[in-house]
Amino acid sequence: MRKVTVGVDVGGTNIKLGLVRKAGRIIARTCLETKVYARHPAKLIQAMAEGIASLLRQNGFKKQNVQGVGIGLPGLVDPVKGHVIFLPNIPGWKNIPLRKHLEKKVGLEVFLDNDVNVMTLGEWRFGAGQGSDDMIGMTLGTGVGAGLILGGALYRGPGFGAGELGHIPVNLTGPKCSCPSFACLETYVGNGPLQRRAAKIFRHPGITLEEVFALAKQGNQKALGFWEEAGEYVGTALVGVVNVLNPTKIVIGGGVANTARFLFPAIRRQIKGRAMPVQAKMARVVRAKLGDDAGLVGSRVLVETEQNIK
Ligand SMILES: [Zn+2]
């Protein structure tokens, strides 16, 4: 009986590999260092194949016990062709037919998607999004992104570019963004801009967001105001999303979501106060449950949904 899927979660620092059982249980894992392979996609594909083979061998799985391999990548991916179109933070990855190369090496079916989509699939099926057929999975970290579950399925858009919630404009003028625009949500609440604003407010260039979080926990008014303002920006963008898509759950994860107790009340206030009443009432803002495992857990859901099995 086919029982296990292999998950691969490609991040800017690490590449996590894991064996995932039914219900999203991770039973074994290993890790590669991304920078070693940054400019060498062929080497990385070889390392992935070897990592997968040794994970299976060490845990007593033969290929016939494996349902498939699911991969989440930090960038634009064509899940239909199985191509990596572009990874902004990993140099050398442009138009790489990853699925074809890896399938040849490992002899298993391979599925790819954008990492935020994969995380969203994981939270939807096994995490905080369970029970919702219309869910936004949002990550707040270095970048701000989202995956969209609409009508019980992942919505990718015809160019696989849907869900770029970090690039919703939240002001008429504002900081230049990494995209062609300016004043995007990400230019206010990405890790970099938040850190820079904290440095200004606390007059301390090296202050970390963890320190600002700790200060908020101690009741420091400036720190409380800092997180409240961040929540207001996120909430402002979400008002539009809630009105347009009418989601029942907004699942927020990523490093900045650790400050949920300060951030979420401001987000909810924005939605409650500004979104249209029916949509606002239905939209629950909750914290992601799967943490760093969301990518590996979601990779199983990716394989299951793409193969159309459960
Ligand atoms: Zn932008």
55-100 per-position pLDDT tens digit: 999 999 999 999 999 999 999 999 999 999 998 888 888 999 999 9
Q: How far apart are the CA of 176 and the centre of ligand 1, in A?
A: 8
Q: How far apart are the CA of 189 and the centre of ligand 1, in A?
A: 12
DSSP codes, 252-269: EESGGGGGHHHHHHHHHH
C-beta of residue 48 within 8 angstroms of C-beta of residue 33:
no
Q: How far apart are the CA of 166 and the centre of ligand 1, in A?
A: 7
Helix (H) or strand (E) holding 185: none
Residue corresponding to tokens 């939807």: 124
Collapsing DSSP to helix, strand or coil, 86 comes out as strand
Q: How far apart are the CA of 175 and the centre of ligand 1, in A?
A: 10
CA dihedral 145, 267, 171, 150 (to 10 degrees): 40
How large is the C-alpha radius of gyration of the chain? 20
For position 2, what pLDDT does the model report? Answer: 62
Pairing of strands 14-20, 4-10: antiparallel
Q: How far apart are the CA of 141 and the centre of ligand 1, in A?
A: 15
Interhelix angle 260-274/221-245, rounded to 10 degrees, is 40
Q: How far apart are the CA of 195 and the centre of ligand 1, in A?
A: 18
Torsional sign, CA 17, 12, 134, 250: positive
Q: How far apart are the CA of 309 and the centre of ligand 1, in A?
A: 37
Q: How far apart are the CA of 74 and the centre of ligand 1, in A?
A: 16
- Report the distance separating Cα 273 and Cα 283, nearest Å: 12
Q: How far apart are the CA of 76 and the centre of ligand 1, in A?
A: 15
Collapsing DSSP to helix, strand or coil, 31 comes out as strand
- Report the distance separating Cα 226 and Cα 247, nearest Å: 27
- Report the distance separating Cα 301 and Cα 304, nearest Å: 5
For position 310, what pLDDT does the model report? Answer: 44
C-beta of residue 216 within 8 angstroms of C-beta of residue 263:
no
Q: Distance between alpha carbon 272 and the CA centroid of its chain, in Å?
A: 25
Q: How far apart are the CA of 23 and the centre of ligand 1, in A?
A: 36
C-beta of residue 139 within 8 angstroms of C-beta of residue 145:
yes
Q: How far apart are the CA of 19 and the centre of ligand 1, in A?
A: 35
pLDDT, mean of each 10-residue run, the chain (310 residues): 87 93 94 87 93 96 94 95 91 92 96 97 97 97 95 96 96 96 97 97 96 97 98 98 98 94 98 98 98 96 82
Q: How far apart are the CA of 196 and the centre of ligand 1, in A?
A: 18
Q: How far apart are the CA of 275 and the centre of ligand 1, in A?
A: 23
Residue 303: other Cβ atoms inside 10 A: 25
Q: How far apart are the CA of 143 and the centre of ligand 1, in A?
A: 10
Residue 201 phi, psi (nearest 5): -65, -40
Retrieve residue 212's tokens. Answer: 């600002």
For position 140, what pLDDT does the model report? Answer: 96
- Report the distance separating Cα 65 and Cα 125, nearest Å: 22
pTM summary value: 0.95
Q: How far apart are the CA of 140 and the centre of ligand 1, in A?
A: 14
Residue 304 phi, psi (nearest 5): -60, -45
Q: CB within 8 A of 61, min separation 6: which ones?
A: 4, 19
* Identity of the amino acid at 83: H
For position 1, what pLDDT does the model report? Answer: 53
Q: How far apart are the CA of 1 and the centre of ligand 1, in A?
A: 46
Q: Which of 150, 138, 121, 122 is CA-nearest to residue 248?
A: 150
Helix (H) or strand (E) holding 142: none
Q: How far apart are the CA of 181 and the centre of ligand 1, in A?
A: 5
Q: How far apart are the CA of 285 and the centre of ligand 1, in A?
A: 23
Model confidence over 216-250: pLDDT tens digits?
999 999 999 999 999 999 999 999 999 999 999 99
Q: How far apart are the CA of 184 and the centre of ligand 1, in A?
A: 5
Question: Largest Cα–Cα distance in the chain?
Answer: 61
